[in-house]
Structure 1
Amino acid sequence: MKLNTGSLKNFGIHIIIVIIVMAVATLLFFYSYLPLVTNKGESITVPDLHGLNMKDIDDFITKRNLRYEINDSTYSDEHPPLTILKQYPKPGSKVKENRKIFISVNRVTPPNVPFPHQLIGSSSLKGAEAVLKSTELKPGKILYKPSPFFDLVLDMKWNGKSLKEGDMIPKGSVIDLIAGDGHAARNFKAPKLVGLELEEALFYIKGVRLATGIITVENDTTEQKSFVIKQHPGEGQNVQLGDLVDLWIVPETDSLYQLLFQSEETDGSLDQ
């Protein structure tokens, strides 16, 4: 049987064409299609969103194939309103595209906090300033007025108005403090110290420019709060600047202390 030379030639050409097509297809698969499919789930580095304003966040996030959701709002007077304060995942984390970033945004208006009324008449300036800072309020101007109680907080004002128990004020508000200047007549009446905790009594003695005399411990006060059950000079007696005040103290578990306050509560209820 005689083979047709032309047919063999055509067959060879077809084989070569098939090989070329397969080679091209293989190259396209590995260098075009496969990378496209693989890179679809490629990880993305989470950008740092801290300090950005919400009006700028949409384009910033969309361009990076990510999403966001506000899951919290808090207040900081150190940043403008609607500033991003926190984010999760953290900057630099690796995530898949279209991942949702949770953000915390600075509130437009500050929340209200209760006014610490307990400071008036019982706290020194230093103590009041510490409490204000701990409640995220700011100590403002310090004004003095005549009073024998030096540095004792006599009043607190916000925007020029005196504050009272139950008042709510915006977080970050500036509170002005009015304190005693320690100037008083040389002769005055001794304050009531009976019933006060020892530390509070010593503060009052110093505030009115008297001096602490002998402190008599009537019972063991180790590791317990001590309270004044007797004083000399007594409440209302005439004293002068620098006079000594003697104190008698007992622990709060002592029967004398309990009897003292039970009698005071009983007298108070009878007066009503």
Structure 2
Amino acid sequence: MSKVVQYLQTPTFRKNLIAAFIAIVCLFLAVYVGLKIYTKHDESIAVPKIKGLHINAAIQALEDAGLEYQIDSVYQMDAKPGLVIEQDPEQGFHVKSARTIYLTIITQVAPEVSFPNIKDKTLIEATAILKNHNLKIGDTSYVADIARDIVLDAQFAGQSIRNGRMIPKGSRIDLVLGNGLGANEVEIPNLIGLPLNEAKFALSGAGLGLGTVTYDPNVTDTTTAVISVQSPGVEKGLTSLGAKIDVTLSLTAPSPTTGTPGSTTVPKPQVTPTQSNPPAAKPVAPKPATTTKTTTNTPPAKSSNTAPTAGQKKENKANSLGF
């Protein structure tokens, strides 16, 4: 123990102690200054206002302030694409330089949704379903049908849309509804030989619509093509108001004689059966009546020659009565 006390009193120990203390102080000062430099103590930047700006202007403002950014996107209907709607941290918050600012913008490309089933639904039900799928109702048209305000067809971009098809959010859907007046019948116009634009005009005037349009493989110029086949054809006579007529376009229309046999064959079966059957039935009925009358007249003539036989008189009388 005395040796330890003697060592503590030596100049060597005092020098080592002083050196260790100086080393600790220097290390503390180095760490303190280093952390202050690394953390940029007493240095801050106020976050500029980014919310409400377009993304291009927002990026320029952040770069001028020496800040970084990270972008996330969402979709909102009726909102300007590229608009900054959220920022974190908020405006005026003091941050260090090169701090990352998180931005939320409106995407320019709308995500797609699956088209719901709205056919045979009422207009109120269809409106609610479309709204829940972030879709809008476009134009509404009415056709003759016994059901009123019932969705008969849904169209997107002028074409009928099937259930489950993927379409962008916010798309407008046109609805075809029933007017509740029933399906009145109109005469089918003859479209054979007409170009497509004239056929559309004729169908519109008759209260009908254009259905499926098919083209002959030989058609190279649709402006010069004419209708060669229509379904249903004029031989059907009448069809429901608002019905659609399917057509086929070819280079040339068929000759007019090809359409006449259908009309000439219709009245023939109506005339021959009604006039041939009654004359054959009438002459059969009166012949048995005349034969029975002649048989009743002959027995009295024979009875004058054979008067004594009473049994023969009874048999003749029975024969005259039809037994």
Q: TM-score of the superposition, structure 1-length normalised?
A: 0.49
Higher helix fraction (1 or 2): 2
Bigger-Rg structure (1/2): 2
Higher strand fraction (1 or 2): 1
